[in-house]
Structure 1
């Protein structure tokens, strides 16, 4: 029997009371199961953390000694137990080390996706399918009007830009994917990297996922016009909103983060509407619980043929 209170929100985040742990907590907790290392899912200060090894490496790089008191680093597909709840990490395809969290309790399987994507990405492990009775899916882009284009076709938009390019992107995950795409599909471009992205690249390389060819940014270089692509984190991108002699793009799945209607780069690391429908098809759940977005359109789409519950 599916337990409707197997997961619930409280002031610290998404809690599994049956196992006395939190999934990607919002505040420090005693026991945290972390799906991936992005800051909105992996905070500092937890007492004990369960995650993949790359996720631990990113957290230790970002938070140093404050990352967690104890790290339990578990490979994909290796089950462990927390107070009677059996847990297995399944690759989520979102970024290096990202995991879906498969939980089994009293014979029922609950799959928490964390953030995930179906698009190919040479800088991380691909998403892996498993079946479950309950799918707890992020619904960031659970809207039939949002369909993300092919990332290769998007990156090729930069091919004809002869000015140097300032390319804004989140430093962990998105930047490495962009470096790989540009290296593979726009070899004529020279990639420059902001100094805060360099140590993150080092983690990727340590785990065998080289982003590609790049070099550290130098101020004098961008004064030349040599088809440079300078990849910078959002705060740097925003601070150079009036930069001259460069073409500005921001890589995101969100329309409101694009520079303008002409200079768009829709490259997303999340599942879009069709991807979510495909995930439901592959996981074969009896119920779908949504969070991290508006799940109402999914509820209307299935019209009670599948139970859809909006967690938040």
Structure 2
């Protein structure tokens, strides 16, 4: 039997009262199961955390001693129990260490996707399919108007840009994917890295993910026009809004983050509309619950042929 209140939002985030834990809480809590290390899913200060090894490494780098009092690091596919709910981490394909949460309770299974993507990504574990009675899916881009382009075609645009490029990207996950894509599909470019991204790259490489060639940013180098791509986090990108002698691009699935209509770089680490429909097809749920976005388009699409509940 599906429990309508298996997970519910409160002031601290998404709570499972049957297991006594939060999923990706937005405030520090006693028990947190964390899907991945992006800051909007992994806050500091939780007393006890369950996560993958990759997520632990990034949290400890970012939050140091305040990351969590206790880490329970669990491999993909290895079930564990929190408060009577059996949980299994399943690769989500979003970034290194990202996991879906397959939760089993009283004979019913609930799959929390966290952030996920289906596009190939050589810098993280590929998404794996599992069946579940209830799919609790992110709906960041759950709109029929959103179809993400081929990332290889997008990154190949850089080959035609003959001046140095200032490339804005989120430091964790997106930047490492961009390094690998540029090395693979625009190898004539020389990649320069902002110093704050370098320690994140080290964690990827220690985990066995080869990013390819890059070097620490040197201001003197950027004075020359030699096919440099300087990858910087958003705050640095915004501070260079009046930069001259460079092409400014921001890699994102969001239209409002593109610098202008002529120079776009739509590379997203989230599922688009077609991907979410494919997730539903593969999981074969009886119900779909949506969060982290607007699920109204999914509700309209299925038009009562599949129950869709909007959690937020």
Where on the TM-score scale, by shorter chain, does this alignment land: which range?
Answer: over 0.9
Q: Matched residue of 1:159: which SS? A: helix
Question: Root-mean-square deviation (CA), in Å?
Answer: 0.4
Segments of 4+ moved more than 6 angstroms: none
Q: CA deviation at 1:266?
A: 0.2
Tell me the alpha carbon deviations over residues 58-80 of structure 1, each in whole angstroms, 9 at most, x when there is no partner: 00000000000000000000000
Distance in 2 of aligned mates of 1:13 and 1:83 = 18
* 1:98-122 deviation digits (Å, cap 9, x = unpaired): 0000000000000000000000000
How many residues align? The count is: 312
Structure-2 residue corresponding to 1:38: 38
Does residue 111 in structure 1 map to residue 106 in structure 2? no
Q: Secondary structure at the match of 1:19?
A: coil
* Equivalent residues in 2 for 1:132-171, closer than 5 Å: 132-171=132-171
Tell me the equivalent position of 1:297. 297
Q: Where does residue 198 of structure 2 map in the other structure?
A: 198
Q: How does 1:224-235 map onto structure 2 within 5 Å? A: 224-235=224-235
Q: Is the counterpart of residue 306 in structure 1 residue 283 in structure 2? A: no
Counterparts of 1:1-312 in structure 2, within 5 Å, are 1-312=1-312
Local SS of the residue matching 1:5: coil
**What's the offset of the Cα at 1:214?**
0.3
Measured in 2, the distance between the counterparts of 1:165 and 1:245 equals: 9
1:234 positional shift: 0.2
TM-score by length of 2: 1.00
Deviations 1:226-258 (A, max 9, x none): 000000000000000010010010000000000
User: How far has the Cα of 1:56 moved from its partner?
Assistant: 0.1
Cα deviation per residue 1:155-207 (whole Å; 9 max; x = unaligned)? 00110111000000000000000000000011100000000000000000010
Deviation at 1:280, TM superposition (A): 0.1
Task: Return the offset for 1:90.
Answer: 0.1
Distance across 1 between alignment mates of 2:6 and 2:210: 39
Distance in 2 between the 1:290 and 1:210 partners?
34
Query: How far is the alpha carbon of 1:36 from its aligned partner?
Result: 0.1
CA shift, 1:83, in A, is: 1.3
Structure 1: runs of 5 or more not aligned: none
Q: Give me the whole-angstrom Cα distance separating, in 2, the residues matched to 1:35 and 1:213.
A: 29
**Secondary structure of the structure 1 residue equivalent to 2:38:** coil
* d(CA) in 1 for partners of 2:265, 2:232: 15
Give 1:287 deviation, angstroms: 0.2
Three-state SS of the structure 1 residue aligned to 2:160 is: coil
Give the drift of 1:211: 1.6
Q: What SS does the corresponding residue of 2:88 show, helix, strand or coil?
A: strand
User: Could you tell me how far apart the structure 2 residues matched to 1:261 and 1:63 are?
Assistant: 37
